[in-house]
Structures are given as structure tokens and as C-alpha cells.
């Protein structure tokens, strides 16, 4: 099928077609083929696959491997970002998932977050915190302060397609620590949460999934301005530096 037609079908398939079919399992082949295409089509096929897996016992052995492979730099910018992360949250909600799999997702999302826009970061950081709450075995990524001296020595293999071979559990979450110095104060504040012990209550990310850059900017503009001190050191000398040699010879008086 043409790409445009695939998208039109998959957008409505899960709520306008599958519920009215006598045998929704007839769509298994179509959805699995669409899921293997990649890009936005794979993201849209997730909705239909979720219904077949959850309600009709579809077995998809390489499902998580394929989901893991969908995580690329564009995932934070695509039109269907909210839908994708809503479903990914559901797929990673089971407490029976192995720690190495969840750790691989955490590391890949964190690594991709280094180049993500602020509106995506404000969603993905609570998302990662929720994964730590559900899977305490993965907290070793946070409680490993002696990380690699050189980032090239990070044992995590970003290019590895198989989550079990990515060595994510041997790594540390230095990416989130880097985001604690982010230029946007809200992002830095959100990333600093991992410095403290996490509460047992999960963060509600439903309101953050569709957060846009415009909304973020509008929120900042509407904040009440506070008086910011522009000079915290008393000026002395010609150039105002504390140990300025000119201060011995020139005065502002």
C-alpha cells in the first residue's frame, strides 16, 4: 500500500474497525507487516497490535526488540509522539519484564534525550522515573556514582539492536546527570529529582504527552517577573574585578 494510505488506515483501525469485526485476528498479518515497515507507520501500527495482544492473545516473540528499535532521534519530534509514548508506557508497565530489557529502554531514552527539545524532556524524565518505580532492580543505573571516566568507555552499546546484548545494566545514567545542567530551568529541576529517593507514587504523564514548545514558551512568558540582582559584588577599580591591579591606581570616586 502507499505510505499515505497506510497512515490513514492505521490512524482509525484500532477504534473504528477492529471493535466491529467478528474476527479481529484476521488483521494480524496486516498489522505485523505494517509494524515491520518502520518510521511513523510502525508507530501507528502499535495501537492495533496492542488490542490484538491484550484482548486476542496475539503472540509476537520479537515485539520488544522491534519496539526498542523504534527509539531513534526522531521519536521526540514526530507527530504521533503522544500516542507512541502512551502505548510504550503500557507495554513497559508489567512487573514481570526482565530488568535488562527495562534498563535498555531507560538507557536508550536517556541517550536520545541529550538532543531532545525541552517539551519532550519534561515528559520523558518523569517517564523514566516511573520505570524506576516499577522496576527497582534498574535503580543500579542511578546508584553507580563511579561512572566511566571517559564517556567513550560507557559499556552501553547504543548500536546494538538486541536489548539483552546492549549491556545497559552495566552502565550508569550520566545522561540524566548532564540534563541537570540544562539551559531550561524546568528541565534541570525535573532531572534533579533522581538525586533524591523517588516516591512510591508514579507521576501522571498523561498531561505532558502532548506538551508543545508553544505552550512551554507561553507558560514562561506569563510568569511573574522577580527582581534579579545584576551585580552581586561591589564594583571597585576601573574594571570592577576583585583583584584588579588597576584598583590600586584608579578610583571611581
pLDDT tens digits along 142-153: 877 665 556 677
Cell 540524566 belongs to: 176
Please report the pLDDT score of residue 242 as a whole number. Answer: 61
Cα-to-chain-centroid distance, residue 252: 53
How many whole angstroms separate alpha carbon 36 and alpha carbon 127? 25
Note every long-range contact of 215-221, with CB atoms under 8 Å and residues 24 or more positions apart, other chains counting.
215/119, 216/118, 216/119, 216/122, 216/186
Please report the pLDDT score of residue 108 as a whole number. Answer: 92
What pTM, to 2 d.p., does this model score? 0.76
Signed CA dihedral, 118, 130, 68, 53: sign only: negative
Mean pLDDT per 10-residue section of the chain, whose length is 253 residues: 85 85 87 82 84 81 84 83 85 85 91 89 90 88 68 82 88 88 89 84 78 78 71 61 67 62
Amino acid at each position: 500500500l502507499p505510505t499515505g494510505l497506510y497512515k490513514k488506515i492505521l490512524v482509525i483501525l484500532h477504534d473504528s474497525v477492529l471493535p466491529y469485526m467478528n474476527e479481529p485476528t484476521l488483521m494480524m498479518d496486516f498489522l505485523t507487516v505494517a509494524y515491520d515497515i518502520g518510521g511513523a507507520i510502525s508507530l501507528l501500527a502499535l495501537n492495533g497490535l496492542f488490542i490484538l495482544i491484550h484482548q486476542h492473545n496475539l503472540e509476537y516473540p520479537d515485539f520488544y526488540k522491534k519496539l526498542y528499535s523504534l527509539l531513534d532521534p526522531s521519536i521526540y519530534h514526530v507527530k504521533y509522539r503522544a500516542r507512541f509514548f502512551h502505548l510504550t508506557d503500557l507495554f513497559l508497565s508489567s512487573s514481570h519484564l526482565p530488568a535488562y530489557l527495562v534498563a535498555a529502554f531507560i538507557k536508550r531514552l536517556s541517550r536520545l534525550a541529550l538532543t531532545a527539545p525541552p517539551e519532550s524532556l519534561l515528559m520523558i524524565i518523569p517517564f523514566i522515573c516511573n520505570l524506576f518505580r516499577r522496576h527497582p532492580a534498574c535503580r543500579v543505573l542511578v546508584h553507580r556514582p563511579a561512572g566511566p571516566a571517559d564517556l567513550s568507555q560507557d559499556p552501553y552499546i547504543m548500536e546494538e539492536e538486541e536489548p539483552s546484548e546492549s549491556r545497559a545494566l552495566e552502565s550508569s545514567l550520566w545522561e540524566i546527570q548532564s540534563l541537570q545542567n540544562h539551559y531550561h530551568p524546568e528541565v534541570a529541576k525535573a532531572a534533579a529529582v533522581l538525586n533524591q529517593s523517588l516516591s512510591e507514587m508514579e507521576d501522571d504523564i498523561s498531561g505532558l504527552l502532548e506538551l508543545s514548545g508553544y505552550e512551554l514558551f507561553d507558560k514562561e512568558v506569563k510568569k511573574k517577573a522577580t527582581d534579579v540582582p545584576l551585580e552581586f559584588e561591589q564594583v571597585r577599580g576601573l574594571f570592577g574585578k576583585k583583584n584588579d591591579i588597576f584598583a590600586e591606581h584608579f578610583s571611581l570616586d
